[in-house]
Amino acid sequence: MADELKFYLITDLHHYAPCLGTEGKGFQKALSKDQKCLKQTGPIIDAYIDRILEDEEIKIVLVDGDVSCNGAKESHIDLIPRLKRLSDGGKDVCLITATHDYCVPGNEVGEGFKCVGDEILPATQTTREELVDLYWDFGMNKALSIHKESHCYCVKLKEGYRLLCLNDDGDREFCGYDEDTLKWIDSQIDEAHANGDYIFAMTHHPVLPPSPIYPIMSERDMLGDWEKTAKHLADKGIRFIFTGHTHMMNIASLTTEKGNEIIDVNTSSLVGYPSVMRKVVFDDENVHISSIQLTEFDADFDGMDPTDYMKMRFDAFLNKVFDTVAFDYDTFANDVAPSFSFTPERAYKLKFPLNFIGKQIHSLTFGKLGKILCISKAVSPEIKDRSVKDFAIEIVRNVFYGDEPYTPDTPEYKACKAAFNKIKKLAKPVKKLNEPLKLLDVVLDGVLYNAPPADWKGTFRK
């Protein structure tokens, strides 16, 4: 019987080295396309490292990819001494890299950049091949086995436990595992079981949707062949997989036809709202997952409370989304949408419903919406003056925060349900709208309210 296994997990550090420039119009332009706290990544990362080092009991730290801002070499070089503080402090660090950690010139993920005055210029670019040498001391140096082409490796964390560190960065067109990688994964699972070791995994892209709307809006940012791969891993005996990339707090599960369950624990970016790390404990029978959110950092957040600043930056980005989708659709499709992995092609495909809804949403309150749709009886007096746009921004923020609060018994849910039903009824004769309007059902049961399990903490059968 294995002893307890305890570890911390952090992901999506997106570290931006200060030497790349944090002042001027160029930096402000770069910041306007992002909700991450680029200027403060170093102090935020340092604060979480300090918190981990204070814990003398937990010796293992998992780092789940996208550790740099677009693969600028300067950012990698500035981050590595911070990670070394963990290893020097007695922590075993297991790290994987991901798509934002290397550069492909002209790729829409972006090249590493620096800001000089009014300009955004190329930084020193990092190749995918260089990442192995840069981060060798943080996991691969202890590997039982390495799949060289994919940069995947397997490590024994302690007696009785193995971890699959699965790099899914691929060629950015397919972020997943090819046939040869899957064969290697299977061999590592078989070897662990033959030796009586419990084995689980981490990979960067979500294996299960962190929100029902995610595959619709950003399917290419799921793990490649996610449903097929999730079922395969579950049936091979992987019950827990830890993921990042989405910047969302979510815990999702899938049960295969054979009755095997896989649980995807998705965690937010460390350097943007809501800024959380996971604490995980495996005991004899269960896995206990909790979350730690720090709120104080040794940095200036424009004179604001750090949590309020992160929320403000998140909301500012969402306001830009809503403003451009309504009044400057070309900018939305070509400049804003790719920032959250929504391709221009998909944006233009959904232009009619998104542009229409975007324009209407700016001037509406729940009360006005009720009158327009003749559903005023479904709108509670306590929400009739509430801005629909502000509510839309809140529900998107809630998806990232997790544990979405608008259950079916809330006035907001009831009003939205009545509105969506009326809109679908009115639009039914227009066949080209029937498919896009299925999004409304997803919003109702998955965005307004996401059923259990809870996203921040929980106890699960091992």
Residues 123, 12 share a domain = yes
Decide if 93 contacts 86 (C-beta within 8 A): yes
Residue 153 phi, psi (nearest 5): -150, 160
Residues 401, 337 share a domain = yes
Structure pTM?
Answer: 0.93
In a domain, 457, yes or no: no
In the chain, the N- to C-terminal Cα span, in Å, equals: 13
Decide if 355 contacts 436 (C-beta within 8 A): no
User: Mean pLDDT in each 10-residue stretch from start to end of the chain (462 residues)?
Assistant: 88 98 94 90 98 97 97 97 98 97 70 93 94 98 97 97 95 86 98 98 96 81 94 98 96 97 98 97 97 97 96 91 93 84 83 86 92 96 95 92 93 95 88 77 84 93 96
Residues 183, 77 share a domain = yes
User: Quick count: other Cβ atoms within 10 Å of Cβ 365?
Assistant: 18
Residues 126, 18 share a domain = yes
- For the chain, the 3-state helix, strand and coil shares in percent, each to the nearest 5, are 45, 20, 35
Rounded-to-integer distance, Cα 203 and Cα 315, Å: 28
Residues 354, 289 share a domain = no
Residues 325, 226 share a domain = no
Residues 325, 258 share a domain = no
- Estimate to the nearest angstrom the gap between the alpha carbon of 24 and the chain centroid: 29
Last residue of a domain, one of 297, 318, 351: 297
296 Cβ contact list (under 8 Å, min separation 6): 47, 306
Residues 148, 85 share a domain = yes
| Residue owning tokens 């922590």 | 91
Residues 314, 183 share a domain = no
Residues 433, 317 share a domain = yes
Last residue of a domain, one of 297, 323, 344: 297
Half-sphere exposure for 74 (CA within 13 Å, toward CB): 15
242 Cβ contact list (under 8 Å, min separation 6): 9, 62, 64, 200, 201, 202, 203, 264, 265, 267, 278, 280
**Which CATH number do you get for residue 292?**
3.60.21.10
Structural domain range at position 402: 306-448
Rounded-to-integer distance, Cα 140 and Cα 144, Å: 9
> Which pLDDT score, from 0 to 100, does residue 18 have?
97
Decide if 41 contacts 271 (C-beta within 8 A): yes
Decide if 26 contacts 120 (C-beta within 8 A): yes
